[in-house]
Amino acid sequence: MKTWKNWLHPLNMTRLAGYADGTTLLLLLGVAMPLKYWADLPIAVTIVGSLHGWVFIVYLLTVLYAQLRLQWHVKWTLFSVAAGFVPFANYALNHALNKRRDRFEVKPIPKIWLVYAIVFFTFIDLFTQLPVMSTFAASLGATAMLSGFAVGMYSLSNMAGNVLSGKLTDKYGAYIVLCAGLLTTAVALVLYRVVDGVPSLLAVRFLHGLVSGLITPAAFTYVANETRREKQGSRTAITGSFVGMAAIIGPAYSGIMANRFSVPFVFTTVAAVGLGLFLLTVQVLRTGHAGEKETKRPPKLRLNRGMVQAFAGAFFLMVSQGALAYLLPLYVEALGYNSRLSGTLLSMFGIVAVLLFLLPTNRMFDRKAPDLIVFAGLAVLGVCQLLLGRTEGMAVLYAVMALYGIGFALLFPSMNTLLIRSTEKENRGLAYGVFYALFSIGTVAGSSGLGLIPGSLATLFTITGTVLVACALAVLAVSLHARWVNRQLSAVSPAGNERSEH
């Protein structure tokens, strides 16, 4: 007879929830849907669909718990999440997990993995909004202009939240800010259920953007402060992989679940994950460096070369992303392809980037100068933008987006590493606050800004690519000049050999 301890084993909890999720999915597709369309009983989908939705939430939480306690390879988490959308896949996955159960040993939750999960949550929160927010606003009676304003409201208040997070993290430590951000973001997500018009939607969007902006700078500051210098590059690459996975999973999840249930239901599921992470954060991160309150006044943030290059990388990366989100669907449609192609093209770049983040290729970020990798990443993104405006074949489009994924994978860890090495622990939180505020500004500039420029889609791709290549060359020129100055100083004085590049 199994004891309660056996049932509470993370693997057993995940497998049990997986069986329940797979069974309710089959009931939804094989029983409730036929009853709705063949027997005119839509209530069947309402009942079974709601049951499946709540079971799916519990299943996601058990998968997250298994990742933290078993510390299995991230592929098992990806397989588990994907299995929740495919009939019979959970049964096959459970069989595979059971065969390998001896390999999964329960371990204490490592703090860094919990922070990875928090990073994943905050970007899942962002990416689940993208496919559904404008249509949700329209369903509440918003005009096209107000729908766009509702989408942008999040980014505007998010910038303020990022900067506020940086200041609070430097003053009180990451633990307090993470707890406050996770709890209030979960509350803000639940508030979408009571939205009944455009004014209340705008109010919730403002609150949501503000409080969710607290999380990212605090999480990345924690990772940076707890990582040895020689591992900073590869560690930021691993952190970036969770951003990439959120970019792949988030839009697909919200699109599917909003279609089956509702937009507020999607946000409620994300809120449940946030609340679970809040409880884990209180338990796991309460002790140690992240929980210590700073007693000294944080020093002022003084810009230096490396910091400016990192800020430029952040801004122009998101200019590129915003341009891609705006131009690619229109360009694909203009070429006569199915609108779904734009989604799969975006997934292509995300998959390539995640692979480079997780494979041994991430070691390059520990060994190579980060400013030169920033140059390479920006240059590749710029070249891809130039190529997209001149590409018509589907196979070539996929190839260009795979190359774009390489550029993204080069840029994200290197600019984070550059920022870390250009700051001190005492003011790193504010630096990350400004860094992620520039993310939001860049996104708006890349999408809304291009919409104000007259010209064909090919012309707009060319403008974006030219700007990115010019920024890359500027980063390279500044880096080469700094190296030349250091060599000159070294020739004049032996002490120059000890000068830091950044």
**How many structural domains comprise the chain?**
3
501: pLDDT strictly greater than 50: no
Any domain includes 432: no
Any domain includes 488: yes
- Which of 80 and 453 is assigned the larger pLDDT? 80
pLDDT digits (tens, 9 = 90+) for 98-142: 888 888 888 877 788 888 889 999 989 888 887 778 778 888 888
Cα 101 from Cα 11, distance rounded (Å): 8
Cα 482 from Cα 499, distance rounded (Å): 11
Any domain includes 179: yes
What pLDDT, on a 0 to 100 scale, did the predictor assign at position 466? 94
Do 418 and 310 reside in the same domain of the chain? Answer: yes
CB atoms within 10 A of CB 363: 13
The encoded tokens of residue 5 equal 């301890």
Do 265 and 390 reside in the same domain of the chain? Answer: no
> Across residues 245-260, what is the average pLDDT?
78
If you search the block for the tokens 């899942």, which residue do you land on?
124
496: pLDDT strictly greater than 60: no
Do 86 and 118 reside in the same domain of the chain? Answer: no
The encoded tokens of residue 376 equal 């390479």
Any domain includes 445: no
Any domain includes 410: yes
pLDDT digits (tens, 9 = 90+) for 148-174: 777 778 888 888 999 999 889 888 888
> Across residues 179-189, what is the average pLDDT?
95
* Most confident option among 102-116, 275-289, 303-317: 303-317
252: pLDDT strictly greater than 70: yes
Amino acid type, 79: F
At residue 275 the predicted structure's pLDDT band, cuts being 50, 70 and 90, is: very high
What pLDDT, on a 0 to 100 scale, did the predictor assign at position 383? 94
> Across residues 58-62, what is the average pLDDT?
85
Do 330 and 254 reside in the same domain of the chain? Answer: no
CB atoms within 10 A of CB 456: 11
Do 281 and 310 reside in the same domain of the chain? Answer: no
DSSP summary character for residue 295:
-
CB atoms within 10 A of CB 340: 9
Any domain includes 78: yes
288: pLDDT strictly greater than 70: no
4: pLDDT strictly greater than 70: no
pTM for this predicted structure: 0.73
Contact 134, 150 (CB under 8 A): yes
Do 355 and 484 reside in the same domain of the chain? Answer: yes
Do 86 and 148 reside in the same domain of the chain? Answer: no
Do 79 and 206 reside in the same domain of the chain? Answer: no
> Across residues 334-345, what is the average pLDDT?
74
At residue 318 the predicted structure's pLDDT band, cuts being 50, 70 and 90, is: confident
Any domain includes 429: no
The encoded tokens of residue 171 equal 């003053």
Cα 111 from Cα 222, distance rounded (Å): 10
Mean pLDDT of the chain: 83
Per residue in 206-224, is it b (16+ CB within 10 Å) or e — as a string?
bbbbbbbbbbbbbbbbbbb
Cα 490 from Cα 485, distance rounded (Å): 9
The distance from CA 243 to its chain's CA centroid, rounded to whole angstroms, is 3
Residue 214, domain CATH: 1.20.1250.20
Contact 214, 161 (CB under 8 A): yes
At residue 293 the predicted structure's pLDDT band, cuts being 50, 70 and 90, is: very low
Query: For a pLDDT cut of 70, what percent of the chain falls above it?
Result: 92
What pLDDT, on a 0 to 100 scale, did the predictor assign at position 499? 44
- Which of 332 and 299 is assigned the larger pLDDT? 332
At residue 3 the predicted structure's pLDDT band, cuts being 50, 70 and 90, is: low
The residue out of 87, 103, 119 marking a domain boundary is 103
Domain with 258 in it: 110-301
Alpha helices per DSSP H over 87-173: 89-99, 111-127, 133-139, 144-172
At residue 206 the predicted structure's pLDDT band, cuts being 50, 70 and 90, is: very high
Do 246 and 330 reside in the same domain of the chain? Answer: no
At residue 322 the predicted structure's pLDDT band, cuts being 50, 70 and 90, is: confident
Q: At 389, is the secondary structure helix, strand, or coil?
A: coil
The residue out of 257, 276, 301 marking a domain boundary is 301
458: pLDDT strictly greater than 50: yes
Per residue in 21-30, is it b (16+ CB within 10 Å) or e — as a string?
bbebbbbbee
Which residues, 6+ apart, have CB-to-CB distance to 258 below 8 Å?
131, 132, 136, 265, 266
291: pLDDT strictly greater than 50: no
The distance from CA 253 to its chain's CA centroid, rounded to whole angstroms, is 14
Cα 22 from Cα 55, distance rounded (Å): 9
Do 177 and 280 reside in the same domain of the chain? Answer: yes
> Across residues 203-230, what is the average pLDDT?
88
495: pLDDT strictly greater than 60: no
The residue out of 301, 321, 352 marking a domain boundary is 301
At residue 295 the predicted structure's pLDDT band, cuts being 50, 70 and 90, is: very low
CA dihedral 454, 458, 460, 466 (to 10 degrees): -140
The distance from CA 219 to its chain's CA centroid, rounded to whole angstroms, is 12
Any domain includes 431: no
Do 469 and 320 reside in the same domain of the chain? Answer: yes
Amino acid type, 427: N
> Across residues 258-266, what is the average pLDDT?
81
At residue 394 the predicted structure's pLDDT band, cuts being 50, 70 and 90, is: confident
User: φ, ψ for residue 383 (rounded to 5)?
Assistant: -60, -40
At residue 441 the predicted structure's pLDDT band, cuts being 50, 70 and 90, is: confident
Do 155 and 287 reside in the same domain of the chain? Answer: yes
